Every structure is written in C-alpha cells, then in structure tokens.
Amino acid sequence: MRVYHLAFVLGLLVSSALLGQGTSSSSGIDLKSIDPAVNPCQNFYLYACGGWMKANPIPPQYSRWGRFNELAERNQEVLREILDDSARHLDRSLIDQKIGTFYSSCMNESGVDKAGYTPIKSALERIQAIPEKAELAFELARLHNQGVDAFFRFNSTPDSDNARMTIANVDQSGLGLPDRSYYLEAKDGETREKYLAHISSMFQLIGIPQPDADARAKTVLAIETSLAKASLDRTARRNPHLLHNKMTALQLSALAPSFSFKRYFEGTNAPVFDSLNVAVPDFFKNFSALIDSSSLDDLKNYLTWHYLNNYAAELSKPFVDADFDFYQRFLNGAKELLPRWKRCVQLTDRSLGDAVGQKYVEKAFPGQSKERTRQLVSIIEKEMAADIDSLTWMSAATKEQALAKLKGVTNKIGYPEKWKDYSTVSVIDNNLIVDVRNAREFEIQRSLNKIGKAVDRAEFNMTPPTVNAYYNPLQNNINFPAGILQPPFYSVNADMAVNFGGIGAVIGHELTHGFDDQGRQFDADGNLRDWWTAKDNDEFKKRADCIANEYSGFSPVEGVNLNGRLTLGENGADNAGIRLAFMALISGIEDGSIHKEKLDGFTPQQRFFLGYAQIWCQNQRPEAVKNLVRTDPHSPGEFRVDGVVQNMPEFSSAFSCSEGQPMVSANACRVW
Ligand SMILES: [Zn+2]
C-alpha cells in the first residue's frame, strides 16, 4: 500500500473452507480436499489439502492457485456483470458513465492495438526534450503525478510522532526488478540478462534499433543497480524506527544537492510544507550523487523505460506480451495471459475502486454480514484480553498498556462510510491510456492534498471487492473489505468450529498485527512510542526469535529457505491468531453454542484445525515460490499451517499425535 511509508499493511490472502459449496459435509469442511493416505501428525497441511491439491492444478494463467483465488474468481464474475451492465446503461448515473466507459475503453482491444504506443508518444517525447539536468526535477514531478515509478516515491502518511496528522514522505523506489537483491547477488545473473533483453525489446517497440536499444538497456540497469545498492532491504524496512527520519525540506535539499527538491515539490502541486519524513536518508544522498554522475541521456533512458514499464499493460499487444513474458512467465512461471475481461475488471477496480465498490456492495454484500462480523470480532477481542491477562512472561505494567491498545482498536467492516467522489475524473470513450492516467492523477493528488491535514481514519485502503484484510498500525484499526465477508467465505449457517478456524483465525491474525514485532512499537493512538518495560521487551524478543528461527528452517523448494525475519510479523500473527480463535472455540463448546459431538467424523477441535488448514490449500509454481520467498512477508500456505500447528499442544491432543512426530515440535514457540 503506497499510502504508508511503512510497508506493513498486512496483505492476508484468505478464503475459508468451502462452507456449503461444493461439499456435501454437514460441518462445512471440504471432505474431498482431505488426503486420507497422509497421517495428520506427519504433515497436517498435506492431510487437510492433499486431495484439493491433486484436484486443482494451477490454471495456465496463474503462477499459484489456492482457495483465495477461487473466491477472487467469483468476485470477478460479479464485477464483470456490474461493469457490462454499466457499459450498457451509461446514461443511468454518473457512476455508470465512469466505470462503464472505462471498462469499455479497456475491452476495446482492437482499438487499443491499433493505437500502438501513440497514446504515450507525446509523454515520451517530452522526456527526450528535457534540455538540462536542472529541468529534471520538474519533469519527474509530472511523471510521478501520472503514477510513473521512477527514482523515488513521494506521498503522504500519518506522522508517527502524532498519528492524527498527515505529513509528506519521500522514500526509496525506482527499481524494475521485484527486489533490490536481484541486482546484487551473483546467483541472479540470468535474471539480469533476461531483464536487459526485456528492456531492450521494449525500446525496440518504440522504434529504437537493436544495438542502440541494447546499449540503452545497460545504462538503465546500471542506474537501477546504484539505486538498489542505496536501498534498505525488506527485512530492515520492517523496523519502523529506521524509516522514521523527519527533517526540514531545506535539510533534504542539503542532503541531495544535485536535485532540486524545491522545483520538484512545486511540480507535484502538493500543499506547501516545511518538514517531512525522509524514510531512507542515505538513499537520497546516493540518488543525488547518481544524478550528478550520470549523463542526461542516460537519465532520459531510465525515465523512458519506466514510463513504458508503467503503462505497458495498457498498450497494444506487443507491449502487453513483452511485459507478460518477463514479469509473469519468466519471473513467476505463468504460462498464459489472463483473458482480457479479467485484466479489464482488475484495472477498473484499481482505477475507480470506490465507484465499482459501491455497486459491488449493493449486489453482493448482504446487510447482516456487517453485524455478524462485528460480533465475531468482539468475541475474538474478548479472548485476546483474556490471553494478555494470562501471560506469565509479561509484567502488569506492560499488560495494562497492551490492554489499553487492544481497547483502542477500531474495526472497519465491509466498505468505507464515505465513498470517493470521482466526478472530477474525466473518462473518455476509447482512450484507455488517458483514462488510466486521469484516474492515477486523481488518486495521487488526493493523497498529496492530505499533507498538513488531520488523518481521515474512516478511509479504506482496499477496494470493497478485495479478498483480503489489513491492520493499520498508524491508525490502530483492522479493516475487512466486503470481498472476504460473504458466503462461502464464512457462513452464518455453518458449524462455528469451522467458522472459527476460518474467519475467526483471520480476525485474530489482523488483531495480532497490532502486537507483532512491528505493530507493538506503536501505541493505542498509532504513535511510534515504546510502551514496554525493558524486561518485557527482552522476553518478547526471545519468544519472537523462536518463531523466526523455526520458519527460517522451512524449505518450500529445494535449495531455498524461508526468511524467518522477513516473515516474522505474519507468522507471529498466524500463531497468535489461531490461538485466539481456538480460545473462542473452547468458550463456544463450554457455553453450548458449538456442537460437542462429532460431525463428519471429526471432533469440534479437529473441525477447527481442518477449517483453518483448508484456508491455505494452494499449488504454486517453483518460479513463483523463489520470487515470493524474497519479496512476500507471508509464508507459503504449507508453512502457515504446519508452522502453526507444530507449536500447539492443543493440536497434538486434538489429533492424538505423540512426541517425536513432525507436527509436535520439541521446541514449541509461543509469543502471545
Ligand atoms: Zn497479516
């Protein structure tokens, strides 16, 4: 999420057991997904998901395929109906006009193909016409306004010293490969060769002859390599203190004398400000040196590449194919492009999300879902308070602060209270690039306009149809878009043991993010403030280290291990989230709201763990795994299941596992 300078908005890809759909079970467990040949105490993930994995090979358009995708597919079908309908009734309302026209522009493939790269020609010419380095700042501002990712990022963010107010923020950016390490590690030579070839092929598509295009690609790679060296790695970026560096605009200018930030900020039309956060000061020092040492022509090549790269997917077929070949096929193992309608549905959702979202909510989000989710959240919150209270390693002083923070969590469910108004976004028929650019400019300007103003905590940072959820540490709130809050994701009619294993664990997961290794550094109001005693801090770290070491030992494909530090927040949230949901299960059994008896041959505890595990059934291509291990703070599904159950004596007792079996850890980790 680009609105935060801290990259810990918590992507959580979730779906749940297929409650009531495609299954004949009475509990909601997907019985066909189980592989009865596997012993649950040997590998619980393969036991719960083995049948599903065999029956659900990855479709050629995808690099991984899981329960989450199944749900997202259904949401996309709903959106397709909405957009087709709007396209047929443009006169009905302003929303229909915007989203219907946008979607039609995108679906007009022959028009897009015929236009080639004409729609961006003048923008590319403008880059080539930059007369001197002194003009670079103003032009870069224009490019950033259009959503082109080059050199660095400028946005607005809550001030972590005073999280009710918004400040300006600049941060490292501007790489075309998925992670800085791809530029620096010897093992990635082949990736860099392919990347060079890809950049060159894009240059050739705009008429630059091959030898020249090859040479220009090399200069692009050299510039990006300098930026990569100056960038903080993802694991370091998980420390919010490292990214917290407030200074005056003048100090930033002194740090980066070869680039006129004054001209740049003027060009962005951002409100005037005196001070800002500079997430990675060293990056800007190096950026300035890079501007100084590079030729103007090389800098133009770099900007040209990033313009092409940012708009490639909306250009004609040769650009779309080249973009797919490198980013999806080579880096992630996908075999085919998504059908155009899916790409257009996603693009419309990304561009005009609140307009599409309003229609989606009307159509697919039943009123009672909101209230029901609210009840479930409050059950899990109650369990978390009990859990904090019961911890033996935490002092009363820190517990008091933790409970105050828990009490301060606000819950946002379904969709925003106030929809964004797109009336100023001009959407023109059959002009896809201009439509996309207008939507991006609107969103970027909207974000910058917040600088110096109070934070609007009611805003949602995911669109309503999104199958995901997040915790925002700077606002201390958890957010559940409508996309994940509907049948069959969880069902009012299903067995609550399975529901708690699914949506219950998800709620617990998001709640725990307020208390994971990052979130715990913020207080109840979202300020970056240490509320831990020194001893409790040490105790937390010791326990978190246990989880980091555990997951670093997992290997999803031969020769590759998970990065336990990069994934620590997510793994911690998984471990605690399921524990809170399990506490809710036990309370439910005790108060009689959950069937004590076996259903489908499983005890409530077994149904709970199966419900949890079956969220994560997935198949992944090895290319995608290798990429994700370096870039994704979430562990692959297999370890989100096995990594968690190994730490839970409640699991081994539910399935009568014995010491020494793989799902019973001799060194069980527990933080919360
Ligand atoms: Zn998460």
CA of 609 to the centre of ligand 1 (A): 19
Q: What is the pLDDT of residue 604?
A: 97
Lookup result for tokens 């539910």:
654
Ion ligand 1 residue ranges (Cβ < 5 Å): 10, 12, 570, 573
Give the list of residues 6+ apart from residue 276 with CB closer than 8 angstroms, or none.
167, 168, 169, 170, 246, 247, 248, 249, 252
482 pLDDT more than 90 = no
**Residue 510 a catalytic site member:** yes
Confidence category of residue 489, pLDDT binned at 50, 70, 90: low
**Residue 193 a catalytic site member:** no
Q: If you average pLDDT over residues 519-530, what whole number do you get?
A: 97
86-99 per-position pLDDT tens digit: 999 999 999 999 99
For 575-605, letters b (16+ CB in 10 Å) and e give bbbbbbbbbbbbbbbeeeebbeeebbebbbb
Phi first, then psi: give them for residue 556, nearest 5 degrees: -75, -30
Q: Which of 314, 539, 574, 642 is an active site residue?
A: 574
23 pLDDT more than 50 = no
CA of 410 to the centre of ligand 1 (A): 17
CA of 469 to the centre of ligand 1 (A): 8
Q: If you average pLDDT over residues 419-446, what whole number do you get?
A: 96
CA of 110 to the centre of ligand 1 (A): 41
CA of 629 to the centre of ligand 1 (A): 16
CA of 284 to the centre of ligand 1 (A): 30
- Between 140 and 67, name the one with better pLDDT: 140
Q: What is the pLDDT of residue 2?
A: 26
Structure tokens at 217: 């690609």
CA distance 406 to 631: 30
Q: What is the pLDDT of residue 14?
A: 31
CA distance 294 to 223: 8
Q: If you average pLDDT over residues 606-617, what whole number do you get?
A: 94
CA of 569 to the centre of ligand 1 (A): 7
Entry pTM: 0.94
Lookup result for tokens 């923020």:
169
Q: What is the pLDDT of residue 12?
A: 33
Q: What is the pLDDT of residue 162?
A: 97
Express as a percent the part of the chain with pLDDT over 70: 96
389 pLDDT more than 60 = yes
Q: Which of 159, 323, 510, 638 is an active site residue?
A: 510
10 pLDDT more than 50 = no
Q: If you average pLDDT over residues 81-108, what whole number do you get?
A: 97
Q: What is the pLDDT of residue 273?
A: 97
Which helix (H) or strand (E) covers residue 290, if one does? helix 281-293
370 pLDDT more than 60 = yes
According to DSSP, the β-strands at 64-66 and 470-472 are unpaired
Q: What is the pLDDT of residue 20?
A: 33
CA distance 7 to 469: 15
| Measured CA angle at 413 (ends 407, 416), to 5 deg | 110
CA of 128 to the centre of ligand 1 (A): 43
Q: What is the pLDDT of residue 487?
A: 55
Q: What is the pLDDT of residue 368?
A: 79
CA of 563 to the centre of ligand 1 (A): 16
Between 505-512 and 604-615, two packed helices, what is the crossing angle to 10 degrees? 60
CA of 66 to the centre of ligand 1 (A): 17
CA of 42 to the centre of ligand 1 (A): 26
Q: What is the pLDDT of residue 450?
A: 98
CA of 432 to the centre of ligand 1 (A): 34
Q: Where are the alpha helices (DSSP H) in 296-395?
A: 296-311, 317-323, 331-332, 340-351, 353-364, 367-390
CA distance 30 to 611: 8
CA of 426 to the centre of ligand 1 (A): 36
Structure tokens at 547: 């989880």
Give the list of residues 6+ apart from residue 353 with CB closer than 8 angstroms, or none.
420, 463, 464
6 pLDDT more than 60 = no
pLDDT mean across residues, the chain:
93
CA of 247 to the centre of ligand 1 (A): 31
Confidence category of residue 27, pLDDT binned at 50, 70, 90: confident
- Between 9 and 576, name the one with better pLDDT: 576
308 pLDDT more than 50 = yes
